[in-house]
Chains A and B, each alone.
Chain A
């Protein structure tokens, strides 16, 4: 389904055992995310291990593997994106010490879902951008020390360079301001010091 138009959007995964609900969320996110939709926990974990997902919209109460169980497994699958739980009730708590990043209460309306997903995209985008700046600085330091023709054999350099490219790509798809921020970062002349 993904085409060139959606390739630059954040990748969202919608998980809900009720197909009608999951599909409705997926359509509501069209245009702001590249959406994957699955209807049970194990399928969600399968998607997570196959591709880089930025945001997961997770139904808490699913038969078999519940949203909380999926949440517990995400770490084991190397997931570093954000998780928005969809719950049946709204107790009105802040999420400071909750195991997820935010929550939405059913029924979820179109504006809320887009707003929450947009908000989480921005948070993740800045997180990844921060990490990119730190990794990219290291890469540049090594680049200054290692000759260009020897870099291909330099394991550490290759690892850092790959990571920097991934981070940059994700930050770009997550936050609109990333080009400007990246340009400012690049404008600093580190090697000259």
Chain B
């Protein structure tokens, strides 16, 4: 080999057609880590490092006649070489170039492209779930929608959704989708055994959590880790379903991908959890409006730290709640006092904590108005989504019946009461709510209004008496009906009272709905 070849920037090995080495240049020596002394007369097969394909030794099984170019990986040198074998006259030249950097760069590029594709797919998935959430009208549908969309993609192996069991701290599996394998079984067993799993922690903390690798993380019970390892699951993301400070549940997302979840996934799925929480919250309101079944709770309270319990006991009186106005900042409660002077009861209540205001509405009828603080028993029930249907307090304590939609957080309501007071849930039942059609409402009202009351209301309404400002005065309407002004006002008020009583659904035997 002449000097030019010797110092060429490419590895060159000159061999005879049978593969016996004649010369090796500097570059080839360095690239192939030969340690050049005494390599001539060896076969190229023993000189060349090993590769799986072993293309170079195989090229010399018979004397090569054609030019051959291959790219191979040489594990012992951790390098990729482009090897070109060129037969010429009575010699064969083997050219060797190191192409490791190009291979590593290509690999990195492929990885980046895969990352980008993955992020795009995740974003599409998330907006897909969000779109589907809009159409979900019940809590079950929301749970199933989320699990189905997340669990059945290529990206993730399975998803499950857990919620707190009513009245307990236990998490139960509400929905699951995908290849749940042994892992979901072991999650259920761990939940039943009361072992802490990351998903339960997320329900407490209200923040998404990434656990990877699942098989080697101490926050996961050993049985779940074992199952996850057997199922080949590597990464887990737990996302809470939150609305404000309320956590409605948790989604556990499992995948066999290594390090599948980063800050971007955490943020993206965190938003998904918030939207799902928002959707759950919306269905709660919708369900109160539309649901035809309600859960009725009867609570017993003897704790005199509640002002109404205390007042009834102090005066040995019966206080029955006629109605509540929950919308105001301080809920207003209308009570009928029986067995004591309303003025005395009001006086005691006025001095009590948790009472914001008091007023005697009707001294002889025993009617009083009380502004309740949010911490009082009834205040707590109202702020937690309950509808108080009856409440009676007497010397032995109080009995309160409260309706709540089946999808409402019953546990939160019950806890809110029992944590504040010595009180207990005496009974719980589900019942069908009577659905009143507009026609039935009209028919019922019709039965109650006298002919005169109805014609007074109709005439006043059509004469724009109820507009503001009035288009017709009371005198004008009275004249049209050929009655006196005071008579008209009497009929109007009686009619309005019946209309409102029917609308607010007060019982017919209720003092306020009685009278002409």
Interface residues of A (CB under 8 A from B): 1, 19-20, 22-24, 26-27, 30, 37, 60-61, 63, 66-68, 87-93, 97-99
Contacts and interface: CB of A to CB of B under 8 A. Distances in A.
B334 to A, nearest CB: 64
Contacts, number: 56
Q: Which 8 A-B pairs have the closest CB atoms?
A: A91-B215, A24-B75, A68-B232, A89-B213, A23-B52, A91-B216, A23-B75, A89-B216
B375 to A, nearest CB: 50
A133 to B, nearest CB: 33
A88 B230 CA distance: 13
A19 B234 CA distance: 22
Contacts of A92: 216
Interface of B: 50-52, 54, 73, 75-76, 78, 114, 213, 215-216, 225-226, 229-232, 234, 256-258
A93 B229 contact: yes
8 contacts: A20-B73, A23-B51, A27-B50, A63-B114, A66-B256, A67-B232, A89-B213, A91-B225
Given A90-B216, A91-B215, A91-B216, A99 B52 contact: no
A59 to B, nearest CB: 11
Given A27-B50, A89-B234, A98 B75 contact: no
A26 to B, nearest CB: 5
Contacts of B257: 61
Contacts of A61: 234, 256-258
Nearest to A37: B52
A88 B52 CA distance: 23
Contacts of A22: 52
Given A61-B258, A91-B225, A99-B230, A26 B52 contact: yes
A30 B256 CA distance: 31
Nearest to A89: B213
Contacts of A88: 213, 234, 258
A38 to B, nearest CB: 10
Contacts of B76: 27
A22 B52 CA distance: 9
Given A23-B73, A37-B52, A97 B256 contact: no
Given A66-B256, A88-B213, A91-B225, A27 B234 contact: no
B253 to A, nearest CB: 17
Given A27-B52, A66-B256, A88-B213, 14 more contacts: A20-B73, A23-B51, A23-B73, A27-B76, A37-B52, A61-B257, A68-B232, A68-B256, A87-B229, A88-B258, A91-B225, A91-B226, A92-B216, A98-B229
Contacts of A63: 114
A97 B75 contact: no
Given A23-B75, A88-B258, A91-B225, A97 B215 contact: no
A99 B182 CA distance: 11
Contacts of A19: 73
Chain A CB within 10 A, most for which of B75, B213, B231, B258: B75
Contacts of A37: 52
B256 A27 contact: no
B485 to A, nearest CB: 88
Contacts of A30: 50
Contacts of A97: 230
B230 A98 contact: yes
Nearest to A90: B216
A22 B182 CA distance: 30
B475 to A, nearest CB: 88
B75 A93 contact: no
Contacts of A66: 232, 256
A26 B216 CA distance: 28
A1 B54 contact: yes
Nearest to B229: A91
